[in-house]
Amino acid sequence: MRRVTEAARKAELSAVTSLASALADWDCFQHRTALNKLRELPRHTHNLEAALGVEIMPKARAAVDRLVLHLEAILAAGPGGPSRPLILDLLANARRRLAERRWDDATARLYRAIEATAQFHLAEAGFANTSAVALADLPEAPFAAFGPGLSTSRPP
């Protein structure tokens, strides 16, 4: 941007950079930082519209508004708290890593999504601390879903 001398063009590029920075933070699971940056975007609306075009801007604004709500829901669950929005975020991030052929990163995101799903369901079942749930304390239903014999192999 240092080589851009026209003030209006520089402001447009700065607005696009702000949006890109917020999206990059979201992609790196810096949810609070991304949310703060997205909340600042309305003051850049004119410059974003000039850079993106009047036809694209309404769609971009709607997408940003949805992302703000999504990030707020993730943050409402608390740090690392399992929630549906976090699980969806992890799955979407895994899909992006797959598209980039970053297999290890995609696998890590999928593993965390599975872990968060289990934690979410345990919390919904009333387990306040999901880090050390005894097998005997788990409800029978999940075991029965895996077929006969598994549920009977649980310890008494």
pLDDT digits (tens, 9 = 90+) for 42-69: 999 999 999 989 999 999 999 999 999 9
Q: Looking at the structure, tell me whether residues 59 and 91 fall in a common domain.
A: no
CA-CA-CA-CA torsion sign (118, 97, 99, 89): positive
Check residue 78 and give left, alpha or beta (phi > 0: left; psi -120 to 50: alpha).
left
Q: Does 82 score more than 80 pLDDT?
A: yes
Residues 12 and 68 in one domain: yes
Residue 148: predicted pLDDT:
63
**Average confidence score pLDDT of the chain:** 86
pTM: 0.78
- Residues 67, 103 within the same domain: no
In this structure, the answer to whether residues 69 and 93 fall within a common structural domain is: no
Q: Same structural domain for residues 82 and 154?
A: yes
Residue pair 130/117 in contact (Cβ under 8 Å)? The answer is no
Sequence-ordered list of residues with C-beta below 8 angstroms from that of 151, at least 6 positions apart, any chain: 140, 143, 144
State whether 69 and 87 are in the same domain: no
pLDDT of residue 90: 95
Q: Do 132 and 72 belong to one domain?
A: no
More confident residue, 13 or 2: 13
64: closest CA among 87, 37, 83, 91? 37
pLDDT tier at 150, thresholds 50, 70, 90:
low
Judge if 84 and 52 occupy the same domain.
no
Instruction: For residue 123, give the nearest of 72, 69, 70, 87 by alpha carbon.
Output: 87
Contact yes or no for 62/95 (Cβ under 8 A) = no
Angstrom CA distances, 49 to 42, 44, 60, 89, 128, stand at 11, 8, 9, 27, 47
- Looking at 34, 58, 76, the residue that finishes a domain is 76
Identify the domain boundary among 76, 103, 136.
76
- Whether residues 17 and 86 share a domain: the answer is no
Q: Give residue 108's domain range.
A: 78-156
Instruction: Give 23's pLDDT tier (boundaries 50, 70, 90).
Output: very high
Buried b (16+ CB within 10 A) or exposed e, 113-139: beebbebbebbeeeeeebeeeeeeeee
Give the pLDDT score at 133: 78
Question: Looking at the structure, do residues 129 and 87 belong to the same domain, yes or no?
Answer: yes
Task: Choose the weakest-confidence range: 111-115, 120-124, 130-134.
Answer: 130-134
Q: What pLDDT is attached to residue 33?
A: 97
pLDDT at 3 over 90: no
d(CA 115, CA 87): 9
pLDDT at 7: 83
- The mean per-residue pLDDT over the stretch 5-32 comes to 91
Q: Is there a single domain that holds both residue 86 and residue 156?
A: yes
When divided into structural domains, the chain yields a total of 2
Q: Which of 76, 98, 117 is the last residue of a domain?
A: 76
* pLDDT for res 60: 93
Count other C-beta atoms under 10 Å from residue 54's C-beta.
8
